[in-house]
């Protein structure tokens, strides 16, 4: 009986120290996969930046982007905008997934996506559009 | 009988701790998001707060 109690205590201590290890404050974001996605998004942003400014695209409430008003675009850009938005969203989805995986919790990806959603909008330049409960809003 | 109870208790403690372990670190996620967004959008630190630097008043007019 005494032995069982000792075993039990050891288990509790082990589980508790696991908990301490998990409560490390920082998330791992410096992995090759994450850095590759970041630089791909960085390059694409050079194209996207003026489209945010003109209101052609906006930030969605779920951490992605969407075409808001294709008419705000010069004709030559209208064709490519959907593909550009789609590849940006693919990268963003992969980014959220990769951060979750890099931290050993693939199931965190939707919470990470939520955290990003708020921060993209907070950091958006004034004049850019973002999606709120009532529809598109301008910063 | 007592042993069964102990196993049950142990399982209870384990699941409670696992629940704590999968708790999502929201603050850390925000911080990570900030870092990545700053990089992707090339936002320099303090850029938003900084007002444009007024052109310095030229005290020395070029003498011609």
Scored b (16 or more CB within 10 A) or e, B16-31 reads ebeeeeeebbeebbbb
Tell me the pLDDT band of A76, cut-offs 50, 70 and 90.
confident
- Overall pTM surpassing 0.80 (yes/no): no
Interface membership of B7 toward A (CB under 8 Å): no
Nearest-CA distance from B4 to chain A in Å? 12
Please check whether residue B14 touches A, CB under 8 A: yes
Q: How far apart are CA B26 and CA A26, in angstroms?
A: 10
Give the residues across from A138 on adjacent strands.
A129
Q: Which helix (H) or strand (E) holds A67?
A: strand A65-67
What's the ipTM?
0.82
Q: Higher pLDDT residue, A31 or B8?
A: A31
Over residues A4-8, mean pLDDT: 76
CA distance to A48, A97, A105, B33, per residue, from A111 (Å): 25, 10, 11, 12
Please give the residue that has the higher pLDDT: either B48 or B27: B27
- What is the average per-residue pLDDT within B8-29? 73
pLDDT at position A12 is 67
């Amino acid at each position: 009986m005494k032995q069982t109690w000792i075993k039990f205590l050891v288990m509790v201590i082990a589980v508790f120290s696991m908990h301490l290890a998990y409560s490390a404050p920082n998330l791992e974001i410096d992995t090759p996969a994450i850095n590759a996605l970041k630089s791909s998004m960085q390059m694409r942003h050079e194209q996207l930046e003026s489209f945010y400014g003109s209101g052609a695209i906006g930030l969605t409430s779920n951490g992605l982007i969407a075409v808001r008003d294709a008419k705000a675009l010069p004709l030559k850009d209208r064709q490519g905008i959907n593909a550009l938005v789609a590849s940006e969203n693919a990268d963003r989805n992969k980014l959220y997934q990769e951060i979750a995986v890099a931290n050993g919790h693939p199931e965190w990806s939707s919470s990470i996506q939520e955290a990003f959603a708020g921060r993209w909008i907070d950091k958006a330049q004034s004049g850019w559009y973002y999606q709120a409960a009532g529809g598109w809003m301008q910063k | 009988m007592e042993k069964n109870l102990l196993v049950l208790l142990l399982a209870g403690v384990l699941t409670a701790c696992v629940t704590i372990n999968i708790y999502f670190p929201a603050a850390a996620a925000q911080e990570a998001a900030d870092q990545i967004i700053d990089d992707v959008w090339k936002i320099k630190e303090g850029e938003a707060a900084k007002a444009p630097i007024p052109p310095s008043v030229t005290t020395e007019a070029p003498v011609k």
